[in-house]
Amino acid sequence: MVDSKKEIVAELLSKEVNLSKEDVFKLLEKPKYSNLGDISFPCFVLASIYKKNPFMVAQEVASRFEFAPEGFSKVQAIGGYVNFFYNNSMLAKQVLESILYKKKKYGSSKIGKGKKIIIDYSSPNIAKPMSIGHLRSTIIGNSLYKIFSFQGYSCIGINYLGDYGTQFGKMLCAYDKWGKPLEEEMKKKPIETMLGLYVKFTEESEKNPALEDEARAWFKKMEDGDKKALELWKTFRDLSIGDFKKFYDLLGVEFDVYSGESQFKEKAKLVIERLKAQKIAVESEGAWLVPFGKDEAPLLIQKNDGASLYATRDIAAAEEHFKKYKFYRKIYVVGTEQNIHFNHLFSTLQRMGYPWAKNCVHVGFGMIYLPEGKISTRKGNLVFLEDVLQRIFELTREFIDKDPKFSKKEKEKIAKAVGISALIYGDLSNDRVKDIKFDWNRLLRLEGDSGPYIQYTYARASSIMKKEKVLQKLSSIPNMTKDEETLIKDLDSFPEVVENAAEHYSSHIIANYLLRTADHFSTFYEKCPVLTAEKEVKAFRLHLTKAFAQVMENGMLLLGMVPLKRM
């Protein structure tokens, strides 16, 4: 819990009412309108305890604060609520001093000190290109990594590749039949060539179903350690990772560990034996599965041909990760279509006697849709992430090229920073569980709800500070306008916003905060002259502008966006 005015109010009220500080804190809310105060305590719960009308209870509680607590201007009963009003001058001084002292650390905390969090994200399949459909896990996971690190946790980012399973039997079969003439092409365009082979297998197997049996046989060779099969598979894996890293570099994404299902194929066999021995798994028509409710599908752990499945390897990976890292929490950033899989995975781990399984969390997210419909790799109608990024860079160059003040090198750098940030903000500004329809126009507009607008507002504030090289000491707080008070309260709330984003695994809380705060700064910028104001007001507004820029920078970095001081 961040050290906030809400904590102060909760402690004060807990001494006056028959509730604990924690219970009071949960009830506190922000009034809908600013003229109703800054923190509101609803008295309806107390009304049932005291057997009185909530309006009367509010009056009684408020009357106990005849003198406003330090940091507040007044306490007032309004309807069935007790409302606390900040002392805005005192708040402004505290907030500005805190931001300009802490700088990049403002909004951070040590709540996670000494605790490890594993974040499993991105996880593309080898031998297939990363598509825009893979983008959400990468962007959401990268942001959560930054948010939890900012909260003091020791984070370990794992890219758990889909590098094992029957689909690779299909790839090996396809390469064995049609791949040798494509060796040179494979060196030049490895992923595209591999995708072509996968699509060809799909088309040919529909005409000749026996190919599916051949593919299963190739996968069985992999499981049995066949040298040729493993050499081909390793080539596909290495080429794929090399291609993935190009996009991760563009997105500013890094991983602490590259892992994959293949690393747990042997441990998966031990998992199967334990599940059988513990009588958690049962046999069904030669296969082995973990049963759940009457109307629920079981968790299949071994096929009737003896092959393991990704669920079995997921169990083995979770065991290994806890053994190695002793994690406080493990987060899986995977689409919501896998909800049942993860519910069953965590439940199975608990049945196996692992108490840490309660600390495994599935952070689900919705699908990305293009105007044409759901993205699919099955028939090859795939939108490459490379094409998406190049299109974004082209569009950003179009409006940056019109500005004569930038060199060609600067324009290229800015185009990439704006394009990547537009893509990231376009994803994270949405509640992650909702589906997203990809919209070029919304992503790149310079006004309203977009990444470029956030960056431009930050650049505007930075340009003011560039003109004023020496920041005079802030000796006092002048009478503030409503727009200045609003902006101060925005900046004050940033630590709580970060905490809420971590608590709900929802980066969109920070994205929405940045948009709201940028809007309030734009209003301030239009109505409150900074550089031409009289001395005392100018000093205050410069401090406010610098603090705003710092908070925006901190927030953008938590999303993975690129702050630009010139645009």
Per residue in 477-506, is it b (16+ CB within 10 Å) or e — as a string? bbebeebbbbbbbbbbbbbbbbbebbeebb
Q: What is the pLDDT of residue 380?
A: 47
Rounded to whole angstroms, the Cα distance separating 472 from 465 reads 12
DSSP-derived secondary structure letter, 371: T
For the sheet containing 329-333, what is the strand order? Answer: 257-260, 154-161, 116-120, 329-333, 360-363
Q: What is the pLDDT of residue 469?
A: 72
- Segments of the chain scoring below 70 in pLDDT: 1-3, 133, 370-384, 440, 470
**Residues 209, 210, 211, 214, Cα dihedral to 10°:** 150
Cβ-based burial of 101 (10 A; exposed 0-12, middle 13-18, buried ≥19): exposed
Structure tokens at 394: 């082209």
Q: What is the pLDDT of residue 346?
A: 98
Helix (H) or strand (E) holding 283: strand 282-284
DSSP string, 154-189: EEEEEEEEB--SHHHHHHHHHHHHHTGGGHHHHHHS
Q: What is the pLDDT of residue 401?
A: 73
Each residue's pLDDT tens digit, 331-346: 999 999 999 999 999 9
Structure tokens at 444: 């790149």
CA nearest neighbour of 137 among 427, 444, 440, 527? 427
Strands (E), 8-80: 39-42, 72-78
Cβ-based burial of 375 (10 A; exposed 0-12, middle 13-18, buried ≥19): middle
Task: Kindly list the domain boundaries of the chain, sorted by start residue.
Answer: 5-86, 121-374, 385-559
Rounded to whole angstroms, the Cα distance separating 341 from 220 reads 24
Rounded to whole angstroms, the Cα distance separating 541 from 528 reads 8
Rounded to whole angstroms, the Cα distance separating 341 from 275 reads 17
Q: Is there a contact between 161 and 121 (Cβ–Cβ < 8 Å)?
A: no
Q: What is the pLDDT of residue 204?
A: 95
Structure tokens at 566: 């010139």
Structure tokens at 543: 């401090």
Each residue's pLDDT tens digit, 373-414: 544 444 445 566 777 777 778 778 877 777 777 888 888 888
Rounded to whole angstroms, the Cα distance separating 510 from 532 reads 32
Whose tokens are 């990439």? That residue is 416
Q: What is the pLDDT of residue 160?
A: 96
Rounded to whole angstroms, the Cα distance separating 59 from 43 reads 10
Rounded to whole angstroms, the Cα distance separating 248 from 251 reads 5
Q: What is the pLDDT of residue 333?
A: 97
Q: Is there a contact between 368 and 133 (Cβ–Cβ < 8 Å)?
A: yes
Rounded to whole angstroms, the Cα distance separating 98 from 495 reads 11
- Type of residue found at 245: K
Angle at 555 between CA 551 and CA 558, to 5 degrees: 145
Q: What is the pLDDT of residue 382?
A: 58
Contacts of 549 (CB under 8 A, 6+ apart): 458, 461, 462, 465
Secondary structure (3-state) at 260: strand
Structure tokens at 115: 């605790």
Q: What is the pLDDT of residue 379?
A: 46
Q: What pairing do the DSSP bridges indicate for beta strands 39-42 and 81-86? A: antiparallel
Rounded to whole angstroms, the Cα distance separating 344 from 359 reads 14
DSSP-derived secondary structure letter, 32: S
- Own/partner pairs, 303-312, CB within 8 angstroms, 24+ separation: 305/216, 305/220, 307/166, 307/216, 307/219, 307/220, 307/223, 308/223, 308/265, 308/268, 308/269, 308/272, 309/165, 310/162, 310/164, 310/165, 310/261, 311/341, 311/344, 311/345, 312/268, 312/271, 312/272
Q: What is the pLDDT of residue 99?
A: 97
Rounded to whole angstroms, the Cα distance separating 547 from 194 reads 50
- Type of residue found at 131: S
Residues forming beta bridges with residue 156, ordered by sequence position: 118
Strands (E), 314-392: 329-333, 360-363, 368-370, 373-374
- Supply the pTM of this predicted model: 0.90
Q: What is the pLDDT of residue 377?
A: 43
Q: What is the pLDDT of residue 375?
A: 45
Fold for the domain defined by 121-374: Rossmann fold (3.40.50)
CATH 1.10.730.10 at 385-559, yes or no: yes
Rounded to whole angstroms, the Cα distance separating 428 from 139 reads 8
Secondary structure (3-state) at 513: helix
CA nearest neighbour of 307 among 290, 338, 292, 286? 286
Helix (H) or strand (E) holding 346: helix 339-351
Distances (CA, A) of 530 to 97, 465, 539: 19, 10, 8
CATH H-level superfamily of 5-86? Arginyl tRNA synthetase N-terminal domain (3.30.1360.70)
